[in-house]
Structure 1
Amino acid sequence: MPYELIAILMFSSMMLMLMTGQRVFGAIGGIAALAALALWGTGGSTIPFAAAMKVMKWYPMLTLPMFIFMGYILSESKIAEDLYRMFHVWMGPINGGLAIGTIGLMVLVSAMNGLSVAGMAIGATIALPELLRRGYDKRMVTGVIQAGSSLGILVPPSVVLVLYAMIARQPVGQLWLAGVVPGLMMAAMFIVYIYIRCKVQPELGPALKEEERSVTKAEKYRLLLAGLLPLGIFFTMMIPFLKGWTSLVESSAIGALAAMAAAILKGRMTREVFEVSVRNTLAISCMFMWIVLAALGFGAVFDGLGAVKAIDNLFTEQLGLSPWTILILMQLSFLLMGTFLDDTAMLVIVAPLYVPLVKVLGFDLVWYGVLYTITTQIAYMTPPFGYNLFLMRAMAPKEIGLRDIYSSIIPFVMVMVVALALLMMFPNIAMWLPDLVYGK
């Protein structure tokens, strides 16, 4: 059987397994193990062992549990609620102000946790009830929370970019810096859209009533300091790393310790908060480790088959497609897969195939990592089966139906498509900051 046909059979078998509801690491790792044994006999058993050794030797992998723990401490200790209270007081007097504040909340939550699901959970439990209670349009606020949560895998410390760095063999620090400007640009574009839309249609986002705005200046500044605490933790962690004083792992430990110190100083570090944070950190870290292990094993089999060279030859030599056409087709495939897979699963599935192909086509892998995150988040929110849509439905109150959730996301997806197009046309949007810091 030709190796190209074996590669297609592996990929289609894996997709079939995933569509039947199997666990991501089980489907990917199982197909890789079966293919390795069928192709190379008992010698194929060394592939998962070699993949495990790669994971164990990759020192930056230690950042994952640190960042996840930091996010859970800040979330479980209700420090994220202080953020929303700050935005509520400072942004409430303008039309759409609370929705704009919610975007700001999502940016800071992203800097706390690095997971889009965390932003969705905090937005749906803290911001959504408050926005609905104050007369905001249900479709507007549902779209705001979904769009804001998409920043979680782009703004550092993005956990997904750490996984991408592991699989693509790229520096985590450069990937994080590459995500900063596109992430802030996208947040700014969301804010501009909300402001203009609520200016034209004030009933979508009414300003707070006078009696709700009657807060003393001293109270406003106290809330400002309390709300900006997570931002202070973020800078405490990132500045030593960017200055070269600490390694990435050391900075992640600083972030975790700073989050614990903040919770202790505010009197919120209870035994329950600590236990829940540790349990959730262990569960998510183990899940990511298994997924990375499966992805590396699958990638090793693909490399052994020479599948990347065969696909490159098919597209460039036989079909005569340009590198940019191939790249756009790859991005469209993300949109298709996003209808039934989450961002981590998409990365693990396509990384063995796409990352080497992107390199062969001559594109920068750091830039492509940012391109990947934006594209998958668009796919994550695209009807009819976007993963984020169903998460939102599970968390939203009964008065918000699936039709509302579908229609709410359309304008925000259009904004994200514009941001993606700008990033493709002007790669320096992503590469300017890492080139500046690392002196390229």
Structure 2
Amino acid sequence: MSYEMIAILMFSTMMLMLMTGQRVFGAIGFVGVLAAVLLWGTGGSDIGFSAAMKLMKWYPLLTLPMFIFMGYVLSESKIADDLYKMFHVWMGPVRGGLAIGTILLMVLVSAMNGLSVAGMAIGATIALPELLKRGYDKRMVTGVIQAGSSLGILVPPSVVLVLYAMIARQPVGQLWLAGVFPGLMMAAMFILYVVIRCRLQPELGPALPQADRDISRAEKMKLLRAGLLPLVIFATMMVPFVNGWTSLVESSAIGAITAFVAAVLKGRMTREVFENSVRSTLGISCMFMWIILAALGFGAVFDGLGAVKAIDSLFTEQLGLDPWMILILMQLSFIIMGTFLDDTAMLVIVAPLYVPLVKVLGFDLIWYGVLYTITTQIAYMTPPFGYNLFLMRAMAPKEVTLKDIYRSIVPFVAVMVLALTLVMIFPQIALWLPDYVYGK
């Protein structure tokens, strides 16, 4: 049997196991180690052990539990809730102002947590009921929350980019910086859409009534100070890192400690908050470590088979496709897979194949990490089984139907596709900041 046929057999076996409901890391790790043993005998079993040792020696992995803990402390202690109260008061007089404030809330929550589910939970439970009560169009605001929460996997500290960094063997710091401008650009495009839509159709996002705006200046400033606390925490963590005063791991520790101290000083660090934050951090961190471990083992076997060279030869020599056409086909495959898989599953399934192929084609792997993440955001919101669609259905009030949720994402998916196209055409949108910081 040829190595190409073995690679296809491995891939199809893994997909079959996933379709039967097996855990992602179990399916990928099992296929990888089993193939290694069948190909190279008992010595092949060392691949799993080698992957574990490589994972344990990867120092930047320490950032993962630190940033997750920081996000959960801010969420569980309700410090993140203060953000929405601030936006509610300060943005309320503007048409569509609460929807704009919700997008800004999503950006800041993303900067605190690095997971899209955190932004979705805060947006659906805090912002959505308030927006509906104020007469906002349910389809528009449902789309705003789904699109805004997807920024969590692009804006640093993105947990997904940590996973990509490990598999692609790229610096986490550069990937995070590469996600800054694309993430902010996408948020600005969402805001621009809301502004234009509410200007053309004011009934979709009415301004707050005068009675709700009659708040003293002192009360407004108090809300502003409370709402900006998460931003101060983020700055305390990122400024030393960007200026080269601390390493990435040290900055993550600063962020976790600062969030904890802030919760204590505000009197919100109860035993329940601490236990919930630690348990959630442990659960998510272990999940990601198992997935990375399985992906490394599977990738090692794929590399040994030379599957990447065979596929590169198939696309470029036999089919005559140019590198850009191959790249576009890869992105389309991500969107299709995103209809039934989450972001981590997509990455670990195709990373052993796609990442080396991107390198062979001559593209920058930092830039491709941003493309992958944006494409994942699109896949999150693509019917029939987009991840965010069902999260929203589970959290939204009864008056928001599944049909409303599906229709709400159409304009925002179009905005995301436009953002992806811009980053593909102008790579410096993603690469300028990491080149500037690391080139100093």
TM-score, with normalisation over the residues of structure 1?
0.99
1:48 equivalent in structure 2 = 48
Shift of 1:16: 1.6
Listed one character per residue, the Cα deviations across residues 18-38 of structure 1 (whole Å, up to 9, x for unaligned) are 122211101111111211111
Q: Find the residue that maps to 1:416 and give its secondary structure.
A: helix
- Please show how residues 416-427 of structure 1 align to structure 2 within 5 Å: 416-427=416-427
The aligned counterpart of 1:219 is: 219
Counterpart in 2 of 1:274?
A: 274
Report what 1:24 is aligned to: 24
Is 1:90 aligned to residue 90 of structure 2?
yes
Matched, 1:311 2:329: no
Are 1:396 and 2:392 counterparts?
A: no
Letter in 2 for 1:209: P
Superposed displacement of residue 203, structure 1: 1.1
Does residue 262 of structure 2 align to residue 262 of structure 1? yes
Tell me the residue number matched to 2:63: 63
Q: Which stretches in structure 1 are left out of the alignment for 5+ residues?
A: none
Counterpart of 1:210, as a letter, is Q
Q: Which moved more, 1:377-386 or 1:409-418?
A: 377-386
Output one character per residue of 1:180-235: Cα deviation in whole Å (capped at 9) or x when no partner.
00000000000000011011111111111111111111111111111111111111
2 CA distance for matches of 1:234 and 1:379?
Answer: 28
For residues 387 and 156 of structure 2, the distance between their equivalents in structure 1, rounded to whole angstroms, comes to 22
The aligned counterpart of 1:8 is 8
Q: Which amino acid aligns with 1:6?
A: I
Does 2:116 align with 1:110?
Answer: no
Structure 2 counterpart of 1:325: 325
Code of the aligned partner of 2:167: I
After the TM superposition, which residues 366-405 of structure 1 pair with which residues of structure 2 at under 5 Å, given as runs? 366-405=366-405
What CA distance in whole angstroms lies between the structure 1 residues aligned with 2:409 and 2:184?
19
Inter-partner Cα distance in structure 2 for 1:104 and 1:280: 25
Q: Letter of the aligned partner of 2:210 in structure 1?
A: E
CA shift, 1:72, in A, is 0.2
Tell me the residue number matched to 1:181: 181
For 2:131, the equivalent position in structure 1 comes to 131
**For the residues of structure 1 that align with 2:265 and 2:176, how far apart are their CA atoms?**
29
After superposition, where does 1:176-215 map in structure 2 within 5 Å?
176-215=176-215
Within 2, Cα distance between the matches of 1:428 and 1:173?
A: 16
Unaligned ranges ≥5, structure 2 = none
- State the 1:360 CA deviation: 0.3
Partner of 2:244: 244
Task: Give per-residue Cα distances to partners, 1:32-72, cap 9 Å, x unaligned.
Answer: 12111111121111000000011000000000000000000
- Alpha-carbon distance in structure 1 between the residues aligned to 2:59 and 2:376: 27
Residue matched to 1:301: 301
Counterpart-to-counterpart distance in 2, 1:336 and 1:103: 26
Residue 164, structure 1, aligned to residue 164, structure 2: yes
- Taking the aligned partners of 1:287 and 1:385, their CA distance within structure 2 comes to 22
SS at structure 2 position matched to 1:370: helix
Moved beyond 2 Å, runs of 4+: none
Normalising by structure 2, we get a TM-score of 0.99
Which residue of 1 is the match for residue 155 of structure 2?
155
Query: 2:59 corresponds to which letter in structure 1?
Result: Y
- Distance (Å, rounded) in 1 between the aligned partners of 2:433 and 2:240: 16
In structure 2, distance between residues paired with 1:32 and 1:393: 36
Letter in 2 for 1:321: L
Query: Offset of 1:299 from its aligned partner?
Result: 0.2
Give identity over the alignment, percent. 84
Residue 335 of structure 1 aligns with which residue? 335
Letter in 2 for 1:303: D
Number of matched residues? 440
Letter in structure 1 aligned against 2:384: P
Distance 1:368 1:406 in 2: 28
Q: Deviations over 1:294-340 (max 9, x none)?
A: 00000001001100000001000111100000000000000110000
1:139-169 deviations in whole A, cap 9, x for unaligned?
Answer: 1111000000110011000111111111111
SS of alignment partner, residue 228 of structure 1? helix
Letter in 2 for 1:48: G
1:362 is matched with which residue? Answer: 362
Task: For residue 403 of structure 1, report the CA deviation from its aligned partner.
Answer: 0.6
What amino acid is aligned across from residue 44 of structure 1 in structure 2?
G
